[in-house]
Amino acid sequence: MNQIVGKEKRLIQIPFPIRRLSVAEYHKMGEIGIFGEDERIELIDGVIGEMSPKGTRHTTSVSNLTNLLPLLLEGEALIRVQDPILLDDNTEPEPDMAVVKSYEGAYVESHPRPDDVLFLIEVADTSLEYDREVKIPRYAA
């Protein structure tokens, strides 16, 4: 059986095969305008999922981290805020923050990959269960 994340951000069993998208197909869908400009989505295991809305606590936490991390890192790494990372051919999540290796020409042609990521931060005020059950295992793989 296949598992996907349902509307309530819980894993559900699907009793039939599902067609999973590649990151390239997902990008193509975005390029041709299938998704709304302000639509908050991400690709996890080939399935397009809606991201939780950004509440006040969430945005405040991300803003505070965005201001604090550069002081701690002193230019030794790049900080990406709610930008994609490419975990594999079927998974491109958008963590709240990704601290990634810095090098000349970094990430012009491709989003950071697992070897580029130094650490990730997910602010989980309303999405704790989803982040723990779905995203963290993929980040750790």
- Confidence grade of residue 4 (pLDDT, cut at 50, 70, 90): low
Q: Which amino acid is at 118?
A: L
Q: Answer yes or no: are the C-beta atoms of 130 and 5 closer than 8 Å.
A: yes
Q: Answer yes or no: are the C-beta atoms of 111 and 86 closer than 8 Å.
A: yes
Domain boundaries of the chain, sorted by first residue: 2-140
User: Of 83, 92, 71, whose CA–CA distance to 22 is shortest?
Assistant: 92
Instruction: Count Cα neighbours of 97 within 13 Å in the Cβ-side half-sphere.
Output: 21
pLDDT tens profile 51-86: 988 899 999 999 999 999 999 998 899 999 999 999
Q: Determine the distance from the C-alpha atom of residue 74 to the mean position of all C-alpha atoms in its chain, rounded to a whole number.
A: 25
Three-class secondary structure of residue 27 per DSSP: helix
pLDDT at 6 over 70: no
pLDDT tens profile 99-134: 999 988 899 999 999 999 999 999 988 888 888 988
Compute φ and ψ for 24, nearest 5 degrees: -60, -40
Across the range 41-60, mean pLDDT stands at: 92
The CB density around residue 30, as the number of other CB atoms within 10 Å, is 14
| Residue 53 pLDDT | 87
Architecture per CATH, 2-140: Alpha-Beta Complex (3.90)
